[in-house]
Chain A
Amino acid sequence: MLTPEQARGLVKERFGVTASGEGSLLVVEAPADRWLPLGGFARETLGCVYFSFMTAVDWKEQGLEVVARVENLDANFAVFMKTKLGAGETRCASLQPVWRGADWMERECYDMFGIRFEGHPDLRRILLPQDWEGHPLLKSYAVDTPHPPYR
């Protein structure tokens, strides 16, 4: 069974980056164009079959950062995947072909941050109404945005 140390070695070998994080948590940062290969690698090679969650961070002028946590439930370690999309960029590769669990998470991410996941089969809003304008978790979204007649 794969240990976290062996997994670190595999990440270093395949992607050339040192996974930070300690113990059973591997934090792997990849460029945006290697996001899908990183997902496939985490699932097929590292055996992370469980897609825990996905979200994004708005770093204002530095652009958006997509983060996702996947877990290997047998070997008991987790991989925390990060990628920076770059300033003004809203497109990102979809992980839905790799994990079915990523489907709704990416829809939520699109709903809240406006990230277009390319390759997602059904990318539409999941929490907010379909006629909603804007993406509320972006830093540029005003908190008290009026929404007549309700607020």
Chain B
Amino acid sequence: MEIKAPTPQIPPAVWTEFKDLQEWEKLHQTRPEGDRHSALFETLEDGVFNFPGGFIVTTVADAFFNWARKSSVWPVTFGLACCAIEMMATFASRFDVERLGMVPFASPRHSDLMIVSGSVTIKMAPMLKRIYEQMPDPKWAVSMGSCANSGGPFRHGYHVVKGVDRVIPVDVYVPGCPPPPDSLLYGLLKLQDQISHFRKTGRRAAPTEKSD
């Protein structure tokens, strides 16, 4: 049987020299100093804190910084699945997170908060971790919905990460499948409450009854 050769030959794409996106990832993953801020500030603050009477200064400064931080939490727009629809609704005018000082921003380099909305697949997990590492400190993560919390209905699938906390540290878990915008809003308010209890620049407070 004679078989015709396929006629139009599509030219190879420019990224064909990379076998996979993960190979490309590996080229960029060596960064020994990390993304963290300088340790100078921490030691400076330790010094002031240990100076007699200095704790008043650091406590007041912390209160001020925490107020500033919690009043401008910028979430990176990171939608993975159907939870992202509810997240978009939360960002939009009806629920309006901007009145809480949150500007949904499409760049991890300028964001403080990552809302992981949806199921994280094993293929997506390295990219998620990389985006989280691109965010400057201090940074927070909200796990939105059952899939991100624990794997949800796909927990026993072969390709789903059983909870995003296996990849990045999570501050607030919002339950629901998907959580309605008011649930997410409540979670974000809880996050702001947590942020206001930060102790010493950039460090998380021990769990308290009030905020956790």
Residues of A within 8 A of B (CB): 36-37, 40-41, 44, 97-98, 100, 124, 128-131, 136, 141, 143-145, 147, 149-151
Q: Are B1 and A40 in contact (CB under 8 A)?
A: yes
The residue of chain A having its C-beta at the shortest distance from the C-beta of B19 within the complex is A130
Main secondary structure of the interface of B (DSSP, over half): loop
Q: Are B5 and A150 in contact (CB under 8 A)?
A: no
Q: Can you list 24 A-B contacts with CB-CB less than 8 angstroms, sorted by A residue number?
A: A36-B1, A36-B3, A41-B1, A44-B4, A97-B5, A98-B3, A128-B123, A129-B123, A130-B20, A130-B23, A136-B158, A136-B159, A141-B158, A143-B157, A144-B156, A147-B122, A149-B166, A150-B161, A150-B162, A150-B166, A151-B160, A151-B161, A151-B162, A151-B166
Main secondary structure of the interface of A (DSSP, over half): loop
Q: Are A97 and B6 in contact (CB under 8 A)?
A: yes
A149, B126: Cα distance in complex, Å: 11
B22 at the interface (CB under 8 A from A): yes
Q: A130-B19, A131-B22, A150-B166 are in contact. Are A97 and B3 (CB under 8 A)?
A: yes
The residue of chain A having its C-beta at the shortest distance from the C-beta of B155 within the complex is A151
A147, B121: Cα distance in complex, Å: 11
Residues of B within 8 A of A (CB): 1-6, 19-20, 22-23, 122-123, 125, 151, 156-162, 166-167
Within 8 Å CB of B19, what residues of A? 124, 130
Closest 8 CB pairs of A and B: A136-B158, A130-B20, A150-B161, A40-B1, A129-B123, A151-B162, A100-B6, A40-B3
Within 8 Å CB of A44, what residues of B? 1-4
The residue of chain A having its C-beta at the shortest distance from the C-beta of B5 within the complex is A97
7 additional contacts (CB under 8 A) given A41-B1, A136-B158: A40-B2, A97-B3, A100-B6, A129-B22, A130-B20, A150-B122, A151-B161
Q: Max chain B CB contacts within 10 Å: which of A44, A130, A145, A151?
A: A151
Within 8 Å CB of B122, what residues of A? 129, 147, 150-151
A146, B130: Cα distance in complex, Å: 22
The residue of chain A having its C-beta at the shortest distance from the C-beta of B16 within the complex is A122
How close is A36's CB to chain B, nearest CB, in angstroms? 8
A37, B1: Cα distance in complex, Å: 6
A129, B166: Cα distance in complex, Å: 18
